[in-house]
Amino acid sequence: MSHEKWLITGLTSIILIIMALVTALTYSLNWSILAISTLIFLLMYPLIFSANKYYQFWCQSIMQLTTYTQVLKDGEHNLKYKKQNKNNLLLELQQEIEALAQNKLKKNTQNNTVESLLSHILDSWPIPVCVFDQNLNLIYRNSAMNAQIQQPMLNGTSASNLGFKFKHGHFSHVKFDDKWQKQSINYLNQSKKHWLFSAIDISQLLNENQTTTQKNLVRVLSHELRNSLTPMASMADTLLCSEQLNESQTRMVLDRIKSRSEKLLAFIGQYSQLAQLPAPHCTWFNFIDILDEAKSMIRAPLNVHYKGAGLCYGDENQISQILINLLKNAQESCSKDTCEVSITLYSQQQNQVIEITDNGPGFANLDNALTPFYTTKSTGSGIGLSLCDNITRNHQGHLKVSNVDPHGAMISMTWPTKK
């Protein structure tokens, strides 16, 4: 039974009880039936009138509260509810409803302000942005998106009719090619999923990165060319300055120049084709041979002490380039009359380790030692050690730099071997 029916039943019961009590009282006083009937008839009208007024009061109060809450639910705040007497039991309920209404009005005002601000910001944004509802129908697009699509974008139009393709939670469009960075984000609004699509033009950034890559590539190649061509030019100059050419010495110099030139050309050819370090072609090779070749490329007094295995696993051309770079770095940093370098090659479980130490001053800044183009030498380019690190990482290994006591630098390279 509803509360309304309970109220009607209660009021009716009260009237019947009052009538019964009046009838019993008048009957005990020996009233006549006509007198009793007349009294009951006269009492019925005010009782029914009072009950109806009471019923109407409560119904009207509840209906007003119901209408007020429904209006608030629809977003209207112009309707004002009649204030209740302070003794009215509905006063507290009315106050709670008004408090909720004020909170909702405040939140709606804030939301409208935020939405208006966001809409204004997005409309002035140079980044194309649009929003689709859960049915993939357009509900918002800014001016930049409208200009990029170059066709009418009416709210309610499906994404497919606007040229968008939706697959695996991501939008795509022919107007946004590889020079655009696209992003699709889904979010919930009033328990309904919405999709926000945006695109950023990165063509200028790509061009800048390409220019930077080209400059770095030129610097790397120039560095490697100087490392190899300078000693070769020096050896050739020594021969040309001799009054009489020693055949064995000439053949040795020409053989060194020929061997190094072939390896350098192969290295540069692969590097320039891929614009990055080529994937290493790993084999077992004679480490002593490439070490002797690297030593011959250094002009200054250089003593190299080697111990370890005769065979090394890796890309012979790239490991040869590492040795030339590291020996040249050691020679350039050494301030003593003779540069002393110790090289050790050994295996550690399934890995191969090459350790190189010198008697120079050590690294001035260990944190930036492997940073490309960073150097503390006045004539250095900051490329050699970074290139060695890249080659080591291409061999699935890692390069570590450290200083040794009392002075000197150590470079340790480790990468896995294949038996």
Indicate the pTM of the whole model: 0.40
Domain range annotation of the chain? 3-105, 126-201, 207-416
Cα distances from 267 to residues 6, 275, 389, 391, 416, in angstroms, run 97, 12, 16, 12, 22
The bridge status of strand 302-308 relative to strand 339-348 is parallel
* Residue 304 predicted with pLDDT over 80: yes
The stretch 233-238 carries a mean pLDDT of 78
* Residue 126 predicted with pLDDT over 80: yes
Higher pLDDT, 191 or 285: 285
Element (H, E) at 37: helix 33-73
Among the ranges given (93-102, 236-245, 281-290), the one the predictor scored with the smallest mean pLDDT? 93-102
Higher pLDDT, 153 or 230: 153
CATH for the stretch 126-201:
3.30.450.20
Higher pLDDT, 111 or 359: 359
Average pLDDT, the chain: 79
Higher pLDDT, 33 or 300: 33
CATH for the stretch 207-416:
3.30.565.10
Q: Is 10 left (phi over 0), alpha (psi -120 to 50) or beta?
A: alpha
Higher pLDDT, 252 or 308: 308
Question: Which pLDDT score, from 0 to 100, does residue 244 have?
Answer: 78
Quick check: 79 and 66 in contact, CB under 8 A?
A: no
Higher pLDDT, 66 or 169: 169
- d(C-alpha 198, C-alpha 185), whole Å: 9
The stretch 337-348 carries a mean pLDDT of 88
Out of 9-23, 65-79, 113-127, 158-172, the most confident range is 158-172
For residue 359, give the nearest of 335, 388, 386 by alpha carbon.
335
The stretch 303-315 carries a mean pLDDT of 90
The angle that helices 316-333 and 384-394 make with each other, rounded to 10 degrees, is: 150
